[in-house]
Amino acid sequence: MTTYQVRLRSREEIADRTMAFHLEKPAGFQFKPGQYIDLALINPFETDSQGIVRTFSIASAPYEDELLVATRMRDSAFKRVLAALPLGTELKLDGPMGSFTLHRNTAKAAVFLASGIGITPFLSIVREAAKQKLNHQLYLFYSNRRPEDAPFLAALQDLSQSNPHFIFIPSMTEMERSKRNWLGERGFIDREMLVKHFCDLSGPIYYVAGPPAMVAAMQQMLAKAGVSEDDIRTEEFSGY
C-alpha cells in the first residue's frame, strides 16, 4: 500500500442523495477490480468526531484513466466537505487494499449480490471483465428501493446488452414510491430469485458487498440454501 495525493476532477449526482467523485489516477497506481482505498481530507473546513478518513471501493476499472468512487451523501462533516470541495483540491489516498477480487477459474460462475451503494466493487469488476473479454459467466443481482435510488443502473443495463457473459438482474423493493416504470424483478434478493436464473445454487462463487446487515442477511440466505461457506466472499462496508 502506498500514499498518494490526488486531485478531485469532477463530481456528479448519480442517484437520489448519491454522488460519484472522479479522482486523478496517480502515475503507476495499479489495482485489481474489487479493491478499495482510504481517502483523507487535507485541512478540511470542518470536521466531526468521526474523523477525516473514509474507505471507498474503487468503482472504475483498472483500464480507465481515472479513479471513481461513489457514496450515499449522509450528513457527516466528511461528506459535507467532500460535496463542497473546489474542483482541483487535493486529497490523500492510501491504497489499494483488499482481496475482494474475482476468482481465476473461468469454469466457475460468479454471482454478485449487491444492494444500493454496495454496487461499487462490482461495477469495477464487470467493466474490467468486459474490457478483457473474460470468459467467466457473471450474474449481478442488484436490489434497490426504487430506480431513482440505484447508482449506475443504466450503465449496468448497457453493459449487460453488450456482454453475453454478463447477466444483470436488478430488483426494486418499493416501486409504489417511484415515479418511473419498472418491468424487472421486484422484492429482496432471495433464494427463489436466484433459482429462477440458474438451477444449481452450489456451482458458483458468491460475492456479497454492502452494509454489514445486508451482508449478514445474504450470508444467512445462502447458507440456508446449502451453499458452502468456502464459496461465499464478502466485503462489509462498515460505517453504515
Quick one: 36 or 142, whose CB is closer to ligand FAD? 36
Closest approach, Cβ 3 to ligand FAD, in A, equals: 14
> Min. distance of Cβ 119 from ligand FAD in angstroms?
8
Question: Judged by CB under 6 A, which of 13, 45, 74, 158 binds ligand FAD?
Answer: 74
**By C-beta, is 109 or 208 nearer to ligand FAD?**
208
Nearer to ligand FAD, 94 or 190 (CB): 94
Minimal CA–CA distance to 219: which of 174, 189, 186? 189
| Stretch touching ligand FAD by CB under 6 A, among 66-74, 107-115, 153-161, 180-188 | 66-74
First to last CA, the chain: 24
Residue 192, C-beta contacts closer than 8 angstroms, at least 6 positions apart: none
SS3 69: strand
The C-alpha cell at 180 is 418511473
Cα–Cα distance for residue pair 201/20, rounded to 1 Å: 34
The least CB distance from residue 224 to ligand FAD, in Å, is: 26
State the number of binding residues for ligand FAD (CB under 6 A).
Answer: 24
Q: Pick from 9, 16, 32, 38 the residue near ligand FAD by CB under 6 A.
A: 38
Q: Does 120 bind ligand FAD (CB under 6 A)?
A: yes
3-state helix, strand, coil in the chain (%, to 5): 25, 35, 40
Bond from prior residue into 96 cis (ω within 30 degrees of 0): yes
Calpha distance 23→39 (Å, rounded): 11
- Please report the DSSP string for 180-237 in residue order: S---SEES---HHHHHHH-S-TTSSEEEEEESHHHHHHHHHHHHHTT--GGGEEEEE-
92 belongs to the binding site for ligand FAD (CB under 6 A): no
Counting contacts by CB under 6 A, is residue 166 touching ligand FAD? no
Q: Which of 71, 124, 137, 143 binds ligand FAD (CB under 6 A)?
A: 71
| Closest CB 176 distance from ligand FAD, rounded Å | 26
Q: Are 139 and 231 in contact (CB under 8 A)?
A: no
C-alpha dihedral (57, 158, 136, 204), degrees to nearest 10: 70
Nearest residue to ligand FAD on Cβ basis: 239
List the one residue from 76, 101, 219, 234 that touches ligand FAD (CB under 6 A). Answer: 76
Q: Does 54 bind ligand FAD (CB under 6 A)?
A: yes
Does the protein bind ligand FAD through residue 239 (CB under 6 A)?
yes
Residue ranges that bind ligand FAD, judged by CB under 6 A: 36, 38, 50-51, 53-57, 69-72, 74, 76, 78-79, 117, 120, 235, 237-240
